[in-house]
A and B are shown apart, each in its own frame.
Chain A
Amino acid sequence: MKRNTIVNDRYPHTIRIVRRNYGLEDINPFVRASAEVVETEIYNGVGRAYTDTTTDGDSKVDTNKRKASIPMRFDRWTTEGEEPMWPLDGDIIEAVMGNVTEVGRVKDFEPDNDRSIVYWEFVRG
Chain B
Amino acid sequence: MLDIAKIKESMYAGLEPMGLMIYSERPEATKEKRTEFLVASLPVGFRSREIGGQEGSYDANVSTARIEIFVKDDMKASFPNEAAELRLSELTTSLLGLFPIIDRTNDVGFVKPRVLNSCSSDSNGYHYCVVQCTVSTLL
Using CB atoms and an 8 Å cutoff, list the residues of chain A in contact with chain B. Answer: 19-22, 29-30, 33, 37, 57, 59-63, 88-92, 103, 105, 123-125
Say which residue of B26, B79, B85, B86 sits within 8 Å of A125 (CB atoms): B26
Whether the pair B76, A90 counts as a contact (CB closer than 8 A) is yes
Binds A, one of B4-12, B28-36, B43-51, B102-110: B28-36
What separation, in Å, do the CA atoms of A124 and B34 have in the docked complex?
11
Residues of A within 8 A of B27 (CB): 61, 125
| A-B contact sample (13 more), CB < 8 A, given A20-B76, A61-B29, A124-B30 | A21-B76, A21-B78, A22-B78, A60-B124, A61-B26, A61-B27, A61-B124, A62-B29, A105-B75, A105-B125, A123-B124, A125-B27, A125-B29
What separation, in Å, do the CA atoms of A91 and B77 have in the docked complex?
5
CB distance from A61 to the nearest CB of B (A): 4
State whether A60 and B28 are in contact (beta carbons under 8 Å apart), knowing that A21-B76, A90-B77 are contacts in the complex.
yes
B52 beta carbon closer than 8 Å to chain A = no
Q: How many A-B residue pairs have CB under 8 A?
A: 61
What separation, in Å, do the CA atoms of A89 and B29 have in the docked complex?
23
What separation, in Å, do the CA atoms of A62 and B74 have in the docked complex?
20
The size of the chain B interface, using a CB distance under 8 A, is 20
B80 beta carbon closer than 8 Å to chain A = yes
What separation, in Å, do the CA atoms of A88 and B79 have in the docked complex?
11
CB distance from A19 to the nearest CB of B (A): 5
Chain B residue nearest in CB terms to A57: B28
Say which residue of B26, B29, B76, B80 sits within 8 Å of A37 (CB atoms): B76
